[in-house]
Amino acid sequence: VQLQASGGGLVQAGGSLRLSCAASGPIASINRMGWYRQAPGRQRELVASITSARTTNYVDSVKGRFTISRDNAKNTVYLQMNSLKPEDTAVYYCKADRTWYNGGIERREYWGQGTQVTVSS
C-alpha cells in the first residue's frame, strides 16, 4: 500500500484546509485509515480515523471542526479542517491499517509522507 498525502499549507486562524490521502496497492484489505499530526516537541497524535464501515473517531480538540471522509471510487480519504487554530499547526500524516488472511491473520500499518499545516494567529 502506498499513501500520497497532499493539501497542507499556510492559513490564518479561522480558515479552512482540506487534506487528501490517496491510496494505491492492495487497498481492498485496508480496514481503517486515519490522520495523525505531530507538532514540534510533541508526540504524534491521532486526529481522526474512519473505518471501512465509515465509523469515525476524532480527538476531542477537533470535534465539531474537522471532518474525515472517504471516497471509495477515488481510493482517497479526506480531512476537512475548519475553524483552524494556531494550535492545529503540525505535520499531518496519513496512515492505513491493513488486515488480511494468509494462513493466519496478518496486520500491517502504512504511513504516507507528512504534509505541513501552519495556522497563523
Instruction: Give pLDDT tens digits for 70-114.
Output: 998 889 999 999 999 999 999 999 999 999 889 999 999 999 999
Task: Work out the end-to-end distance of the chain between its first and last CA atoms, rounded to an integer number of angstroms.
Answer: 37
Quick one: pLDDT at residue 37?
98
Residue 115 Cα distances to 18, 60, 67, angstroms = 11, 22, 17
Encode pLDDT of 4-61 as tens digits: 999 999 999 999 999 999 999 888 889 999 999 999 999 999 999 999 999 999 999 9
CA proximity to 67, closest of 18, 14, 23: 18
Quick one: pLDDT at residue 36?
98
Alpha carbon 81 to its chain's center: 11
Compute how many other C-beta atoms are within 10 angstroms of the C-beta atom of residue 32.
Answer: 17
The C-alpha cell at 87 is 494550535
